[in-house]
Amino acid sequence: MSHLTRSIGLARLKNTLQTLLIVASLALVLALPGYLLTGIPGVLVSLIVVAIVVQITGWVPARLVLASSGAGLLRRHQAPTLYQALDVLYQRAGLEQPPQLYYTPSPELNAFTVGGPREGGIALTEGLVRTLDLAQLVGVLAHEVSHLRHGDTRVMSMAAAMTRLTLWLALLLQISLLVMLPSLVAEGEPLPWLALLAAACAPTLSSLLQLALSRRREYSADLEAVALTGDPYALASALTVLERHHGAWLMTMFGRRPPAWLDWLRTHPPTRERIRRLLALVKGSHVSVSPTHRDDAARPVILERPGPLGRRYWIVRRR
């Protein structure tokens, strides 16, 4: 077993355990206000509502994002080089569906996954395509394929649903306690300080856990991208470019060293830490070639830009 394979295996196990711990913590925080309201039935109803919301929102938000961004569907003849790389990445990831690429005419440097492993794709912005070279784009695509492969869109939808429901239950608990407060005082009963504390802290704690889960899934996608391409340098290089563009506003507000507490409010981990972890995987190991050819490096990655397909296409039509 090579050093790279061993490093990826250990990091994968760590990421999995941490993800399970965060999801369990989210469920526990959600269960607390539900239990304080109605006991065990409140906990069961809360979990059932989360499952229903995840099923309903599994594909609708992705389509709404694409519709509002003026996205177009990239055909194979419009981006043959990217589709050739995606074919290899999909095969290595074990995804049986045909690759689908979407294009949004935005100057922002961004890429995101829509849908899940069975029905989904990857969206790239114009700014990203213009800024990154082919090897960097393949590293980013591998990262997004990893999100697609593990259904991270569905996982984050579940976390968001749990956070929203926790907020609503905590608000309902607060209202119930305020209604009961006069009678408790009149009867000389002790105030339910524990319930008040739970109602006050549960939404904030759930939001922080949701952000932590998002950061953990990004670390996992970085790791799985390296497993797909065998080339940590391409993704690390792409992250360096993205940090140069996205990190400018942080430097404007906080200087060259943002405060440590800001990391708790990020949806993505600090880029420097992501790069450090990527490069740590290849110490003493041989790096294989990513799924691109040198002859493709000079070719434009998008030969023809697609036009927006309109809101009706994304909302109504099944892919």
- Asked whether 230 and 237 are in contact (CB, 8 A), the reply is no
Rounded Cα distance between 125 and 108, Å, is: 7
DSSP state of 229: H
Cβ neighbours of residue 98 under 8 Å, at least 6 residues apart? none
Phi, psi (rounded to 5 degrees) for 72: -130, 155
Of 32, 37, 106, 30, the C-alpha closest to 69 is 106
Rounded Cα distance between 208 and 203, Å, is: 9
- Residue type for 312, please? R
Active site residue 304: no
Residue with tokens 């694409």: 66
Q: Which helix (H) or strand (E) holds 74?
A: strand 72-74
Per residue, the 3-state secondary structure of 114-132, as one string, reads EECCCCEEEEEEHHHHHHC
- Asked whether 209 and 263 are in contact (CB, 8 A), the reply is no
- Asked whether 228 and 138 are in contact (CB, 8 A), the reply is no
- Asked whether 104 and 302 are in contact (CB, 8 A), the reply is no
Rounded Cα distance between 13 and 9, Å, is: 6
| CA separation, residue 209 to residues 27, 149, 158 (Å) | 10, 23, 12
DSSP state of 151: T
Catalytic residue among 108, 119, 144, 224: 144
Of 63, 57, 61, the C-alpha closest to 309 is 63
Provide the annotated active-site residues.
144
